[in-house]
Chains A and B, each alone.
Chain A
Amino acid sequence: MVYNFLSYFVTAVSLVFLTILGWFVYQLRQEGRIIRRRSNISPKE
């Protein structure tokens, strides 16, 4: 039962931090794309 409760905790905490990490990655990619367009350098897809 304790291990079961541990899995709930790990799931909730992982979800929060992975979402926030994903948000940062998405924003950094958006920023990178805009800056590359400004510099007139075509992005490497």
Chain B
Amino acid sequence: MRFFADKKNSVWLGLVLLMLAIDMWVVVTYTPMVPDQHWAQKIFYVHVPVAWTAFLSYFVVMVAGILFLIKKDYYWDRVGLAAAELGTMYTTLVLITGPIWAKPIWGKPWIWEPRLTTTLILFLVYIGYFMLREFGGHPERVARYAAIIGIVAFVDVPIIFLSVKFWSPEIQSHPQIEMVAQPHRILIPFFYSLITFTLLYIIMLRFRIHILKLKHEEAENGL
């Protein structure tokens, strides 16, 4: 059965598309222009929710990894793989939209400062994860090792979050501003964007798990 033949899924996607359209309209027309950054600052409303979605996805990889190791149920292996794929896609978008924003503001697209470097490390760890998935050999062993990598790799996520706090301020390029101190015209669209991207992520994850299940059934039946 096709995933979007289920009315619940197609309604969810339709709702998310509507929310995304409203999100972009609000970002363009309602959010204030920040002096010196103008339109470039508005990348923030996409860049940060995309980063949040990537980290949420890696959290799902970790939880799925733990559940796979406990239950030995391959459903959790598929959940972990689907979340790892999406997490890496979103991390790639973070690593591209970040430099697009940084270029006009910092004058250069990349600076080797803690948050950027730790995000790049996370991305590279997941490149290793997919190499293991592809070339690891026996499927049972690959699933087990992938679960362990997914659990260990998540350690980097809180490091990325806290990197602006525990490395010395001299080497920081990210602003250390409390989000709650922002005006409502920035804060409300920002949280709306976070919710919209989270809902988009949930439907993407469920769709990918559905396809991995179809592939698994196909492989089992020798189709």
Interface residues, chain A, CB within 8 Å of chain B? 1-2, 4-6, 8-9, 11-13, 15-17, 19-20, 23-24, 27, 30-31, 34-35, 37-38
Contact = CB atoms under 8 A, between A and B. Distances in A.
Given A2-B39, A27-B207, A27-B211, A16 B100 contact: no
Contact of B43 (A2, A8, A35): A8
Residue picked from A5, A35, A38, most chain B C-beta under 10 Å: A5
A17 B24 CA distance: 11
B215 A27 contact: no
17 contacts: A2-B39, A5-B40, A6-B39, A9-B40, A11-B100, A12-B96, A12-B100, A15-B97, A17-B20, A19-B92, A23-B204, A24-B204, A30-B211, A31-B3, A31-B211, A31-B214, A38-B218
A34 B97 contact: no
Interface residues of B, number: 32
A20 B208 CA distance: 13
Interface string B96-113: 110011011000000000
A15 B204 CA distance: 17
Given A12-B97, A34-B214, A35-B2, A23 B89 contact: yes
Contacts of A19: 89, 92-93
B181 interface: no
B223 interface: yes
Residue picked from B24, B103, B104, B200, most chain A C-beta under 10 Å: B104
Contacts of B103: 8
Interface in B69-103: 89, 92-93, 96-97, 100-101, 103
The 4 closest A-B pairs by CB, nearest first: A5-B39, A9-B39, A5-B40, A6-B39
Given A31-B2, A35-B2, 19 more contacts: A1-B38, A2-B38, A5-B104, A6-B38, A8-B101, A9-B39, A12-B43, A12-B97, A13-B43, A13-B46, A15-B93, A16-B93, A16-B97, A19-B89, A19-B92, A24-B204, A30-B211, A34-B214, A34-B215
